[in-house]
Amino acid sequence: MNFNINENELLELLQELIKIESINPTLSKHGSGEAEIAQYIGNYLKKMGLEVRYQDIGDGRLNVVGILKGKGNGKSIMLNGHTDTVSIDGMEIESFNPVFKNGKVYGRGAMDMKSGLAAIILAVKTIIETKGELNGDMILTFVADEEYASLGTEKVVEEYHADAAIICEPSNLQIVIAHKGFAWIKVGVHGKSGHGSLPEFGVDAIVKGGKFLVKLEDLEKRILSQKKHPLLSSPSIHASLIKGGIELSTYPDYCEIQLERRTLPGEDRDYITEEINNLIKNLHGEDTKFNADFDVFFYRSPLEVSSNQPIVQSLSKICSQTLNRKTKFSGFSGWTDAAILNDAGIPTVLFGPKGVGAHGSLEFVNFRSVVSTTQILIGTILDFCN
Ligand SMILES: [Zn+2]
């Protein structure tokens, strides 16, 4: 199934989006944020006949949402992509002056993920021009802040819902139905301060913290690395930050260790809490002078969508027809906004073009894969919403 998409317009739009600097301002103080690119996309969508709304996520940073109502007797679909990029520190070529060479488009955001945004817009434009009204609604959400705290997609789920969603992050034209989650945990190890010459009084919180770190390595080796998910490999845990101590001649009464636990589907917040709790309890059993408390202070859930979901079925059918190959399901090791949509009751998959150098010093996207992404989006939307 092939639709007549305007490839020149797709390329031009991608290049225009790259030209608008939209570095996440929380990541880099020189970043301009997402307002200008949101306005640009909003105007584009208005010309296409969509109802356009903006959501302010704070400090004038904008999401832009485009809605095209269907006849009301079909399933609704959300198409999502982030408009922010990471910074350009250390980039090799002109980051906002996109170059098209040998079938590749170079520039910051070319791969991650302005190509996905352009594919969404051109897919919907082609549908409007060739098919007119669908049965179900299309909700296009172009969100801010995915590269930092996902404030944009969190704002989207407060107001909008759909029967399914596709996020067009670069996925190498594979259908991503799972990714890991993560938890950030602060562990406070408590000792007793005392003069360095009086060991009978002091309890060294840093040395006790060392015992905890040994247990952590043991947990990773004996348990976590033995677990395997077919698409995501193993979960993991590592110590990221440590601080403690006051001066050389004093026993430290406190040592703080911050950890990151990367989780598989099924390992929810309670599970992680129980795991760390057991670790501390066991250590206290072995050494009554070991005392610690902890807090899971930030948690993002993993993603796993059943391959029986209608959106996965539609996408994989159209994918194999268009690319003439068997569907490949895959997993991301990193976390994405898909988990937020999925947790809000919108079954969500990731699907997008092929590129190299996301967040790196040389970033490009393979333009043919952007064309394929657009084709596949058109087919999937028609199949799912009609
Ligand atoms: Zn991205």
pLDDT at 340: 98
Contact between residue 153 and residue 141 where contact means Cβ atoms under 8 Å apart: yes
Task: Quote the ligand 1 centre to 5 CA distance (angstroms).
Answer: 24
* Centroid of ligand 1 to alpha carbon of 18 (angstroms): 14
How close is the Cα of 327 to the center of ligand 1, in Å?
Answer: 22
Alpha carbon distance 219, 187 (integer Å)? 16
Q: Which helix or strand (DSSP H or E) is residue 163 part of?
A: none
Q: Which is it for the CA torsion 287, 239, 294, 188, positive or negative?
A: positive
- The answer as to CATH 3.10.20.740 being correct for domain 7-179+303-385 is no
112 CA to centre of ligand 1 in angstroms: 5
Determine the Cα–Cα distance for residues 21 and 88; give it in Å rounded to an integer. 10
* pLDDT score for 1: 58
Nearest to 66 by CA among 163, 170, 160: 160
Nearest to 152 by CA among 25, 284, 304, 281: 25
Q: How far is the CA of 111 from the centre of ligand 1 (A)?
A: 8
Ligand 1 centre distance from Cα of residue 283 (Å) = 40
- Spatial separation of the C-alpha atoms in residues 273 and 226, rounded to whole Å: 20
Q: How far, in Å, from the CA of 123 to the mean position of ligand 1?
A: 19
Q: Ligand 1 centroid vs 169 CA: distance in angstroms?
A: 5
User: What is the C-alpha separation between 28 and 88, in angstroms, rounded?
Assistant: 9
| Nearest alpha-carbon partner for 338 in 169, 159, 118, 124 | 169
CA 120/CA 370 separation, integer angstroms: 10
Q: CA dist 13 to 9, 121, 173, Å?
A: 6, 9, 20
Cα(252) to ligand 1 centroid in Å equals 43
**Residue listed under structure tokens 């150098």:** 357
- pTM given for the model: 0.93
Report CA(113)–ligand 1 centroid distance (Å): 5
Ligand 1 centre and the CA of 86: distance in Å? 9
Tell me the CA–centroid distance for residue 363 and ligand 1, in Å: 12
Closest by CA to 317, choosing from 386, 381, 232, is 381
Furthest CA-CA distance within the chain: 84
In three-state secondary structure terms, 268 is: coil
- Per the CB < 8 A criterion, the answer to whether 227 and 233 are in contact is no
Q: What tokens does 309 get? A: 């979901």
Give residue limits of the domains in the chain: 7-179+303-385, 181-300
Q: What's the CA-to-centroid distance between 105 and ligand 1, angstroms?
A: 16
Q: DSSP string covering 5-74, please?
A: --HHHHHHHHHHHHHS--B-TTT-TT---SHHHHHHHHHHHHHHT-EEEEEEEETTEEEEEEEE---SSS
Ligand 1 centroid–CA 210 distance in Å is: 37
pLDDT reported for residue 327: 84
Residue type, 105: V
CATH of domain 181-300: 3.30.70.360
**Distance in angstroms (rounded) separating the CA atoms of residues 293 and 270:** 16
Write out the chain's pLDDT in tens, 386 residues.
567 899 999 999 999 999 999 999 999 998 999 999 999 999 999 999 999 999 999 999 999 999 999 999 999 999 999 999 999 987 876 689 999 999 999 999 999 999 999 999 999 999 999 987 899 999 999 999 999 999 999 999 999 999 999 999 999 999 999 999 999 999 999 999 999 999 999 999 999 999 999 999 999 999 999 999 999 999 999 999 999 999 999 999 999 999 999 999 999 999 999 999 999 999 999 999 999 999 999 999 999 999 999 999 999 999 999 999 988 899 998 999 999 999 999 999 999 999 999 988 899 999 999 999 999 999 999 999 99
Q: Give distance in angstroms: CA of 270 to centre of ligand 1.
A: 28
Q: Are 246 and 234 in contact (CB under 8 A)?
A: no
Q: Tell me, in angstroms, the distance from the centre of ligand 1 to residue 68's CA.
A: 25
Distance CA 161, CA 346 (A): 7
Residues β-bridged to residue 298: 184
